[in-house]
Chains A and B, each alone.
Chain A
Amino acid sequence: MVNLIYPGDSISIPERTNVVTGPGIYLDPKSQHLKPINVGIEVIDPSKRVTSVYLDFNSKRYIPSEGDFVIGVITSTFADSYRVSLANFSTAVTLSYMAFPNASKKNRPTLKVGDLLYARVSKANKELEAEIECVDSSTGKDAGYGHLDGGVVVDVSLAFCRELLFNNDFPLLKLIGKRTEFEVAIGLNGKIWIKAADILSTLACYRIILDCEKQPTSQYSEIIKNRFKELANSAD
């Protein structure tokens, strides 16, 4: 059974457990009580050592948090870093020249202003500008991050992105895959980059993602069929 809770509700956590709080849960520094600060579905996960508590809620405003995969646009270059915009009207984040595979003082990355890239949030302090990286910092190797060439970006809600990225049973990508080949990058900042074999298929994918965000999963195959049919007709 899902439990929808509102800001200010009390959260029922078994006592004497080590709790890790996630999104939507606030530890009041004075009273030391946990309080929900968003409207969402309460998730209490008493796994091995600690109980994780968070709210599953939807929004469109992205707040960087460490470890997130994001899609950003380079807005300016500095002496030793890029500034990258993850969402319009939000504070830009920093991408150091050293946060690339095989980076060195002499070997500078070749990205330009306006380039789209896929990266991982490496530091996210609420008092500081967040930092992202295009390298797996544990191995120092390329881990699929970097420049996204061509394709198209769809702006969707954050919850939809989380579903697409983490839920293996979410049918959308499998269903699109039956119709066309495509590459996809999913940013948890509400951006999905998609690139199919040709422009018409890419455009179809763009429309499918936009439409499917607001529809139940049962409708997906119908939407996909219609979108591809429309584009095939318009191409003639």
Chain B
Amino acid sequence: MALALKQQSECLYPGYMICPEFDVVEENGKECIIKYIPSLGVAKRPFSVDGKQINVLIATLVGNLSVKLQEDLESQDAEEKDESSENSVTADQSDDESKVHKVYIVSVKDEKHIGKSVRDDFTNNLPKEGDIVLARVTRISLQRANVEILAVENQRTPIDSGVGSNGSGEVAAGGGSGAATFSVSQVSSDLGETFKGIIRSQDVRATNRDKVKIMDSFKPGDIVRARILSLGDGSNYNLTTARNDLGVVFAKASNGAGGLMYAIDWETMVAPSTGNMELRKCAKPFE
């Protein structure tokens, strides 16, 4: 890594110049070209020095610098070049891109949230395709459930929080040990400022999709853990709960008039004080 980057541990501010787009370092007696890719809180801008234009990365947020090595370098290279280079030895090709040996992802993150499970940087972490979100059911009809998105789960945590994980394991609702962190939307639900979503009846569960009754899956007021299928039509995200770890995670009996209910199986919740049972599409209630 370039020496210049290592020294920047103090707080960056918007407009701060971090590094040029490309850099060359000496590694084992060989010349190694490094490319820096801007990520969250970093933008690529042209910068002229002595009448010469170069691209530099500058910070766009207040925070601390984070530089990560891009893992799948070869696939990244292949994508950028379009035409195939079967042998990964590309050093002797002449153009700049082909000489890139290392790709780093540069981002600026506010570290005041580190160690907290709830973060308020929702605007820097907007719901995108594949994200897990917590949403509240606002309205149901026979074909769909309308929800509003309250929080985005920051990263998917393996069921054992990554300890002894053997591949793509199941993810427990809430990240098992509570290790998942959330970015909580700060906008008002009363004014309709939250992002809206739709869970269609076909997207409620993975099996027997055509027989789903929304009434027996969600009720208004339920908190649902769902995955973003697509950005939808601009006014609504499309969400799905068709996975074991997705579904209702928090619900009160009688549309909120009763007590808190707990999932006892995949499709039933019970209120311990009264013993009344209600039907829901529950998220996996146990690990």
B243 → chain A closest CB, angstroms? 24
Which residues of chain A are near B220, meaning CB under 8 Å?
Answer: 127
Residues of A within 8 A of B177 (CB): none
One digit per residue, 1 when the CB lies within 8 angstroms of any chain B CB and 0 when it does not, for chain A 28-47 equals: 11101000000000000000
Q: Is the pair B257, A128 in contact by a Cβ cutoff of 8 Å?
A: no
Task: Determine the chain B residues whose CB is within 8 A of the CB of A28 once the complex forms.
Answer: 257
B interface, by DSSP: helix, strand, loop or mixed?
Answer: loop
A125 in contact (CB, < 8 A): yes
Q: Which residues of A contact B258 (CB under 8 A)?
A: 29-30
Chain B CB within 8 A of A198 CB: no
CA distance A127 to B138 in the complex (A): 11
Expressed in whole angstroms, the Cα–Cα distance for A129 and B141 within the complex equals 7
Q: With A and B bound together, what is the CA distance between A104 and B246 in angstroms?
A: 37
Q: Which residue on A lies nearest to B275, using beta carbons? A: A32
Contact mask B124-152 → A, CB, 8 Å, 1/0? Answer: 00000000000000001110000000000
CA–CA, A125 and B215, complex, Å: 9
Q: Are B219 and A29 in contact (CB under 8 A)?
A: no
Output the least CB separation between A76 and chain B (Å).
16
Complex Cα distance A118/B141, Å? 24
Residue from A29, A125, A127, A128 in contact with B274 in the complex, judged by beta carbons closer than 8 Å: A29
* Cβ distance A66 to chain B, nearest Cβ, rounded Å: 14
From the candidates B253, B255, B273, name the one contacting A127 in the complex (CB within 8 A).
B255
A127 with B259: in contact, given A29-B253, A29-B276 (CB under 8 Å)? no
The docked-state distance in angstroms from the alpha carbon of A26 to that of B259 is: 16
Which A residues touch B273, using CB under 8 A?
Answer: 30
A-side interface residues, number (CB < 8 Å): 8
Question: B161 near A: Cβ within 8 Å?
Answer: no
Q: Produce 1/0 per residue, B99-129, CB < 8 A to A.
A: 0000000000000000000000000000000
Q: Indicate whether B254 reaches chain A with its CB closer than 8 angstroms.
A: yes
Q: Report B137-176 residues with CB < 8 Å from chain A CB.
A: 140-142
Q: Which chain B residues in 202-255 approach chain A with CB under 8 Å?
A: 215, 219-220, 253-255
* Nearest-Cβ distance from residue B142 to partner chain A, whole angstroms: 7
B254 adjacent to A29 (CB under 8 Å): yes
Most A C-beta atoms less than 10 A away, residue of B142, B253, B271: B142
CA–CA, A128 to B137, complex, Å? 13
Q: In the complex, what distance in Å separates the CA atom of A129 from the CA atom of B142? A: 8
CB-based contact B259/A30 at 8 Å: yes
| B274 near A32: Cβ-Cβ < 8 Å | yes
A89–B257 CA distance with the chains assembled, in angstroms: 26
Which residues in A have their C-beta under 8 angstroms from that of B255? Answer: 127
User: What is the CA–CA distance of A173 and B204 in the complex, to the nearest angstrom?
Assistant: 51
Shortest B80–chain A CB gap in Å is 47
Instruction: Give the nearest-CB partner of A131 in chain B.
Output: B142
Contact (A30, B257) CB under 8 Å given A127-B220, A129-B141 = yes
Tell me the chain A residues, 4-32 only, with Cβ under 8 Å from chain B.
28-30, 32
Beyond A30-B273, A127-B220: 5 further Cβ-contacts under 8 Å? Answer: A30-B258, A32-B274, A127-B140, A127-B255, A129-B141
Selected A-B contacts with CB under 8 Å, 16 pairs: A28-B257, A29-B253, A29-B254, A29-B257, A29-B258, A30-B258, A30-B259, A30-B273, A32-B274, A127-B140, A127-B220, A127-B255, A128-B141, A128-B142, A128-B215, A129-B142
